[in-house]
Structure 1
Amino acid sequence: MGMLIRKEELVSVKLAFGLMAELSGPRLYSCCNCRNHVSYHDDIMSKAFQGRHGRAFLFSHAMNIVVGPKEDRNLMTGLHTVADVYCCDCRQVLGWKYERAYEESQKYKEGKFILEKSKIVKENW
């Protein structure tokens, strides 16, 4: 009997062995610099965020990225512990990961990713 593997599990296995995940299917987002696939459109939670360089999207998942060191930042919604995220191929800064939110109303962001609109491009639209 065959075993079903979810896309998230397959990506995790590939990344655990140092392989870049090659996403397939419609509506992807890629690094604007090298076209490395970084997320699915379906993983967008909100388009109403502000990044360092303009509009940004909140994603539930991101892949083919490197997470930098954690640091506390005072953002528009209060103090957060965040870590910059980089494309794992070209090392372009794409946004950040929310590690901790200090305000109770902001806890939903923990473990989520901000990818700046100017740093990503649509693929397969």
Structure 2
Amino acid sequence: MNTSSKQDERIARMTFASVYPHYLAKIEKKGRTEAELHQVIEWLTGFDAPKLQQLIEDKVTFESFFREAIINKNVHLITGVICGYRVEEITNPLTQQVRYLDKLVDELAKGKKMEKILRSSL
């Protein structure tokens, strides 16, 4: 699915630090932990907790965040709808990666088992 170039540009310029507190609040409200959030982010990007903290402090954009990431080889197993878009059909690679992260956070907040979120039992 095509997203508008304006939306893609807006996502690229958005900082990870501006969105992270929203991810955290969303999952904590549903009884999940920051450690679980970090586990999900590390699975997707390869970033451990100290690296995540550095990226937050440096206020990196999503463009820089995902440029540094080592995307999990099983990312293609993330499917479904997030923010009105089917993630597997998003054509802009950066927007797709951000939506993958959104999808994983959403699954965590919905109480899915970690094995399912991390696609380890598939």
Q: TM-score, normalised by structure 2?
A: 0.27
In terms of fraction of residues, the more strand-rich structure is 1
> Which TM-score applies when normalising by structure 1?
0.27
Bigger share in helix: 2
Give the structure with higher Rg (CA): 1
Structure of higher RCO (CA pairs closer than 8 Å, 6+ residues apart) = 2
